[in-house]
Chains A and B, each alone.
Chain A
Amino acid sequence: SPGAHHPSALSLFSLTVTSEQIEHLHRRFKQLSRDQLTIRKENFDSIPDLEFNPIRGKIVHAFFDKRNLRQGSDGLGDEINFEDFLTIMSYFRPIEMNMDEEQLDHFRKEKLKFLFHMYDSDHDGKITLQEYRNVVEELLSGNPHLEKDSARSIADGAMMEAASICVGQMGPDQVYEGITFEDFLKVWQGIDIETKMHVRFLNMETIAHCY
């Protein structure tokens, strides 16, 4: 069984995902990898619905981002195995009722870290203005008739807002380099990501088919 070879990934899922669901994921993995042991970026192209997603590039990238693999490494991988796949999926597990304060905090930080890595594409530990602009451009990429300027102004405005939340008053000579992870946490303070960022693993009967 796939579970036997991947104890560390399983332990993340311990309480909220049953072995049945891991079976499902494994089957899905095999579908995507065409029965190989690893998945490459190209394999994600075979998912039809993903084409409509404006941020598909970032999503696929996130799977290969070594920072998300909880191993302390950095950089980009070329391929991922099932354990890595599970590790990425574990970021989307739902909240558990019996978590204490510390666990909840860790849970939340973990999810936010994943998001942060998605925004921070050059891996330098902060989200610069250019990266933020890039995010907004991607979000608006489904509207080809829009000018680039609109995306830019939104990103600029958002960045200024983030700066004012995180740093507050700034003199005219101070430069806000970018949103660090601590700042990111501050921006997300009002939003309860632990309840929002999850995928229901409960009902896995409908498994999509790829070409």
Chain B
Amino acid sequence: MPSVSRVVPESCLLIVVGLLVGGLIKWVGEEPPILKSNIFFLFLLPPIILDAGYFLPLRQFTENLGTILIFAVVGTLWNAFFLGGLMYAVCQLSGPNLNDIGLLANLLFGSIISAVDPVAVLAVFEEIHINELLHILVFGESLLNDAVTVVLYHLFEEFATFEQVAVIDIIFGFISFFVVSLGGVFVGVFYGVITAFTSRFTSHIRVIEPLFVFLYSYMAYLSAELFHLSGIMALIASGVVMRPYVEANISHKSHTTIKYFLKMWSSVSETLIFIFLGVSTVAGRHYWNWIFVISTLLFCLIARVLGVLVLTWFINKFRIVKLTPKDQFIIAYGGLRGAIAFSLCYLLDSAHFGMRDMFLTAIITVIFFTVFVQGMTIRPLVDLLAVKKKQETKRSINEEIHTQFLDHLLTGIEDICGHYGHHHWKDKLNRFNKKYVKKCLIAGERSKEPQLIAFYHKMEMKQAIELVESGGIGKIPSTVSTVSIQNINPKTLPVQRILPALSKDKEEEIRKILRNNLQKTRQRLRSYNRHTLMADPYEEAWNQMLLRRQKARQLEQKMNNYLTVPVHKLDSPTMSRARIGSDPLAYEPKADSENLPIITIDPASPQSPESMDLTNEEPKGCGGLPPSPEEDEEGLMMRVKEPSSPGTDDVFTPGASDSPSNQRMLRCLSDPGPRPEPEEGEPFIPKGQ
């Protein structure tokens, strides 16, 4: 029995809630509030767009940019004129009520309603998990058509007040399109660069780093709107430009903050928008004219379908991956209208446009139709047509290597056959970026870090965290891969590691990380919407440790017993375990095995001299601790320690599980949180023999 949320998309439910609330307010006798355009454009829309822009999947977006632009610009223009023209004809042909609606008014109406709405598209498409290509096509279109909408709207609104429309005005209109879109992008890029540059210097005031992102983006939006440029494009451009540099500069916590705030705000906005749509429907003055409304609806659908068909036929001549009829259907069907159309119409001056109420009614009808009917039926249709869904692929290090290799290969081939193609320019841009831009905008060492290394470190971190978590629950999944470094490079001998004493900061660091990580679970999901958030490793402490690692040059030794193996394709968290030579570690460390001493976590009693003072987190008498640079460097890796030569480390004396040094280690490493079972053997740092 499918639950309501599986059948009805969230947006529909919210509108219904809005209707109920509006009805309730009216019933009580009060005047329900209408969604004021001011509030919508200034406060409700920007967070959604910024969220979309900041987390835009850039690679797919740029690969399909041509297609997206054609749909956004040509498609919207076609919709506007086709609809406007036909509605004018309808108005002329129908009764006396509609006769006085001029061509311009109809064209204005057409331009308002023709734009695909990003909020509605996001709300519906995110829930159906469609494949990335279609998602980015429809979504990208909904974002980029803002420029067209803005231009047409202002143009027709102005023209409606003119006596005559000269050809020169039309030409100006055409030029203004470029000004509006490119101007918006330019403003966005400008603010994006400022933000990136600012973030370079925020290493001492980490707390306000997120503020710059939000503030400058919003300023980009306002600046663009001020000059009647496309605010949406400014927001997108600023988000896209600032992201790589800002993320390289800011602390991990700031990154998390930004992500969560953006998701939160966009979530709230979206909810409010749909609820207000519902309320406004109840509250607004309506003028229902059967002919107008029905023909609007009809022509909207026809225009969309025709537009998509013709444009796809044209686009497919240039695309490598052609768009199949199934794809075309989804693109056409996904052309949802939403609150932007409503707000734009609401902004119209009733003095000039007496039929505003009728327009509003028609727009609301179309919105309701697209959101309810199309929104609800798209999911079963997607299943019925067996449209490719989003693949939950794991980003593996192999894939990253191969992708980069392929990029360089294709660039090379383009250079060899003398063809300045897509790869050539992308490579040039990357080189320019690396040479000049990164140096300006990224602080310190990170500016030189190649992408492969950054990616690899991220992956290590993620696996480390998952390891800690799965180790923390004491369960070991059965689908763990057992490949270790010995399997691929048997000649390397496990090297005796020297374990230097741990400094106070390192201890502190480790404890903090372990405490924070031990009792939480995280999910690894890739997504760019608020419904599924990405996992976030604790990178700040990691980064610091990483630097120390590079300084300590322990990499080779550590890697010998280090395992980074992603799981089998069945969903299980990654487990790392190290092996020593030919000593196999069983999956479940047997409690009776002498070779595997179990570490028991024994929260210290307050009276114990070796207990930790929780308030100031000073481990008393904690010295000479085992977590060496390895632990330090990994932070969260589970590993079997080398059998240390006597004297280097007195903690790993096997068997003496109650030795004071052992307890010292335990106390310093464990989180004296909820009391674990005394028998619970956590193979957290299993000792070697």
Please report A residues at the B interface, Cβ cutoff 8 Å.
24-25, 28, 31-32, 44, 47, 49-50, 52-56, 59, 89, 92, 94-95, 97, 115, 118, 129, 135-136, 139-140, 142-143, 145-147, 149-150, 152-154, 156-165, 167-176, 187-188, 190-191, 193, 195-204, 206-209
Report the minimal beta-carbon distance from A126 to chain B, rounded to whole angstroms. 12
Specify which of B402, B409, B565 is in contact with A59 (CB 8 Å cutoff). Answer: B409
- B residues neighboring A (CB under 8 Å): 318, 320-322, 391, 393, 396-399, 401-406, 408-424, 427, 431, 448, 450, 452-453, 456, 459-460, 481-490, 550, 553, 555-556, 559, 562-566, 568, 579, 582-584
**CB atoms of A158 and B556 under 8 A apart:** no
Point out the residues of chain B lying under 8 angstroms from A174, CB to CB: 487
Please determine whether B416 and A176 come into contact, CB atoms closer than 8 angstroms: no
- Contacts A160-B565, A163-B487, A191-B403 known; 16 new A-B pairs at CB < 8 A: A25-B417, A28-B417, A52-B431, A115-B406, A129-B488, A129-B489, A149-B553, A149-B556, A168-B568, A170-B482, A171-B482, A190-B391, A190-B399, A204-B419, A206-B419, A206-B420
15 sampled A-B residue pairs with Cβ under 8 A: A28-B418, A44-B416, A59-B412, A59-B413, A115-B402, A142-B450, A149-B559, A156-B489, A169-B481, A172-B487, A187-B402, A190-B391, A199-B417, A200-B422, A208-B420
Which of B409, B422, B582 is A172 in contact with, Cβ under 8 Å?
B582
- Assuming the A-B contacts A152-B556, A161-B398, A197-B410, are A171 and B417 also in contact, with contact meaning beta carbons closer than 8 angstroms in the complex? no
Q: Measured between alpha carbons, how far is A31 from B593 in the docked complex, in Å?
A: 72
Q: Cβ of A199 and Cβ of B489 under 8 Å apart? A: no
Which of B412, B431, B484 gathers most chain A CB within 10 Å?
B412
Q: Report the minimum CB–CB distance from B52 to chain A (whole Å).
A: 26
> A198–B584 Cα gap in the complex (Å)?
46
A173 CA to B415 CA in the complex, in Å?
46
Say whether A143 contacts B448, CB under 8 Å: yes
Distance, CA A170 to CA B484, complexed state (A): 8
Chain A residues with CB under 8 Å of B564's CB are: 157, 160-161
Q: Is the CB of B485 within 8 A of A208?
A: no
Q: Are B417 and A161 in contact (CB under 8 A)?
A: no
Assembled-state Cα–Cα distance A179/B102 (Å): 71
Q: Is B489's CB under 8 angstroms from A158's CB? A: no
Which of A150, A191, A202 sits near B555, CB closer than 8 Å?
A: A150
From A47, A94, A97, A169, B482 is in contact (CB under 8 Å) with: A169
Q: Is the interface of B mostly helix, strand, loop or mixed?
A: helix
* A159 with B405: CB separation less than 8 A: no
In the complex, are the beta carbons of B417 and A89 less than 8 A apart?
yes
The residue in B482, B487, B488, B584 that gathers the most chain A C-beta atoms within 10 A of its C-beta is B488
Within the complex, what minimum Cβ distance (angstroms) separates A169 from chain B?
5
Distance in Å from the Cβ of B328 to the closest Cβ of chain A? 15
Contact A199 B555 (CB under 8 A): no
Contacts of B422 in A (CB 8 A): 200
The smallest C-beta distance from B689 to any residue of chain A, in angstroms, reads 15
CB distance from B361 to the nearest CB of A (A): 45
CB <8 Å contact, B488 and A201: no
- Check if B456 sits within 8 Å of A197, measured CB to CB: no
Cβ A160 vs Cβ B488 within 8 A: yes
